[in-house]
Structure 1
Amino acid sequence: AMCVNDIAAQGAEPLFFLDYIACGKNDPALLEQVVSGVADGCVQAGAGLIGGETAEMPGMYAEDEYDLAGFAVGVAERSAIVDGSGITEGDVLIGLPSSGVHSNGFSLVRKALFEQAGYTVDTTLDELDGKTLGEVLLEPTRIYVKALKPLFQAGVVKGVAHITGGGFIENIPRMIPDGLATRIELGSWPVPPIFDVIERAGNVEHTEMFNIFNMGVGMVLAVAADRADEAMALLSGNDEPAYRIGAVVRKTVDDVELA
């Protein structure tokens, strides 16, 4: 998901993915589940799973441990690459919701929930609608390739920020030209309850949460104000939820402002 989302954030189309699985002991049933999940993600991204490598290393990993890595290749016409260079003051920011924590911040997740709060993966909390912490934390990262494609084809997107490690504060400025910044309107999108649970359990400052997690927004798009309605309509027409979460402003501070 992280590989193909990074490709999509540049206006490119993922072509294929290759995986690498390292383990302490080759467990065919387990590896079948892992590869099946990778294949499902490739279907969502419209990419092919064309190969991979499995390494059994009992001296490196315990019998019940495995490690995953992989990479994707994508393609775009040079003239169609979305690099944020055309972003101007007054452009609208549109947020596409995440499916949860996605794939970053888990060192803090473990420390806050399991070490400090004493929860386990089987803990259920009222805020999580009857799901266990394990179920919520292992919700697959959302893949945005198909959601973004119609917007790229229509030429309405000026810039894309994939909200990974570093959250809002580190990722959004990467697509913004010098001299500009973004003003984010808190409360303009629903924040999944798992983030409130993490913030409370770990006694994390609210602003710091935006410097670590996606806080319910996995992709942020910059579009011209006069095409924002068009972009929202394209997303709605494909049953893709989206929220207007802010705007591009003239830079007055070094970081993203949280209003």
Structure 2
Amino acid sequence: MTNPHSAPLTYRDAGVDIDAGDALVDRIKPLAAKTMREGVMAGIGGFGALFEVPRKYREPVLVSGTDGVGTKLKLAFEWNRHDTVGIDLVAMSVNDILVQGAEPLFFLDYFACGKLSVDTAASVVGGIARGCELAGCALIGGETAEMPGMYPDGEYDLAGFAVGAVEKSTIIDGKTIVPGDVVLGLASSGAHSNGYSLLRKIIARAGARPEQDFHGKPLVETVMAPTRIYVKQVLAALAAHGTAIKGLAHITGGGLLDNVPRILQPGLQARLHRDAWQMPELFSWLQREGGVADEEMHRVFNCGIGMVVVVPAAQADAVAQTLLSQGETVSVLGEIVEQGKDAPQTIVV
């Protein structure tokens, strides 16, 4: 009698489909090709991706960032919305390196799942490619990992890695910020990719459904709106105004209260005014349905402000006009003052 345990096994028997992986690579290649830019020497398909720093830089400093999408992915799984989380992935890293004045050059992604669905993965990577186009950086490589038993059926995880460059002499570090400077805010497109553990809990408490009407469109459209990418707009403002832009802060996890202090020297405080901008209805609804305190809102969510720009008062109007011309919604949030003893570095009054 033949021993059933002696039958030959394949990788497919173990849950990994190499053919599906190859099919995904074929689907990705034309998406990545749309993101190619100066400097790309070798892209998708090799063991490593090659990139030459553009010659326009005299003293280039490389700036890198990495991030994920967080528990917003749980809603992507539950609501079957996979086409925008790739934009979120790119945005979280490129916006982070932008705040030091860096131009994003290239991006790599990591997609991990238990069983590979080519259609789902292609939808996600399509979003990643779109995010790279918006940021002006090349999608030059990545990794797709099919790992049976590591993830529940239908679920996956994402990580992204961005590398940019900035002239050594023009790195933005916030060290020139002084009392009297003005704090501008650029509007967010929604909750971006932060606070979704609380957001999901509020949705569950409210019994909200993805298809229900929310101010004229399905709730899913508002909740899953991709993170705004500020790269081209802010780089245009930097080109026009140079050192007038003293500090930039990406408002991610920690909200306004924890992210603005990251660019302030000791002894300085950003005093932001609650009535300086209109909090989008999504955040008003979340606060109301969750009974969330004001301070908690400002520490968890961006509350409608995705990027902060600190400039001298005399140049605030000019910088704001440039950003407006680039399609941004700009608010004058407040000002930089001296920090009082035992006072926080950012307050909303």
Range of TM-score over shorter length: over 0.9
Residue 230 of structure 1 aligns with an amino acid whose one-letter code is A
Out of 100, 119, 124, which is 2:208 matched to?
Answer: 119
Query: In the alignment, which residue of structure 1 is the partner of 2:334?
Result: 246
1:183 to 253, 271, 276: 271
Within 5 Å, give how 1:71-220 maps onto structure 2.
71-114=161-204, 116-124=205-213, 128-153=214-239, 154-155=241-242, 156-220=244-308
Greater RCO, CA 8 A, separation 6+: 1
Larger Rg: 2
| CA deviation after TM superposition for structure 1 residue 240, in Å | 2.1
Give the number of equivalent residue pairs. Answer: 255
Q: Which amino acid aligns with 2:210?
A: V
In 2, Cα distance between equivalents of 1:57 and 1:73: 27
Q: Tell me the percent identity.
A: 49
Normalised to the residue count of structure 1, the TM-score between the two structures is 0.95
The corresponding residue for 2:144 is 54
Per-residue CA deviations over 1:76-129 (Å, capped at 9, x if unaligned) read: 111111000000000000100000000000000011111x222232333xxx32
Unaligned runs of 5+ in 2: 1-90
Q: Is residue 8 of structure 1 aligned with residue 94 of structure 2?
A: no
Contact 2:110 2:159 in 1 (8 A): yes
Runs of 4+ in 1 over 3 A off after TM superposition: none
RMSD value over aligned CA atoms? Answer: 1.1
- Cα distance in 2 for partners of 1:86, 1:18 equals 33
Q: Secondary structure at the match of 1:210?
A: helix
TM (normalized to structure 2)? Answer: 0.71
Residue of structure 1 in register with 2:21 after alignment: none
146-155 vs 31-40, which moves further: 146-155
List runs of 5+ in structure 1 lacking aligned partners.
Answer: none
Corresponding residue number in structure 1 for 2:314 = 226
1:241: Cα distance to partner? 1.8
Distance in 2 between the 1:36 and 1:129 partners?
Answer: 28
Which whole-Å CA distance do the structure 2 matches of 1:193 and 1:241 have between them?
A: 16
Q: Which amino acid aligns with 2:155?
A: E
Cα deviation for residue 255 of structure 1 reads 4.0
- Answer yes or no: is the 8 Å Cα contact 2:187–2:328 preserved in 1: no
| Distance in 2 separating the partners of 1:39 and 1:134 | 22
Structure 1 Cα separation of the partners of residues 227 and 281 of structure 2: 16
In the alignment, residue 344 of structure 2 is paired with which amino acid?
D
Q: Matches of 2:231 and 2:125 in 1, distance apart?
A: 20
- 1:185, 1:43 → 2: CA distance? 35
Deviation of 1:173 after TM superposition, in Å, equals 1.0
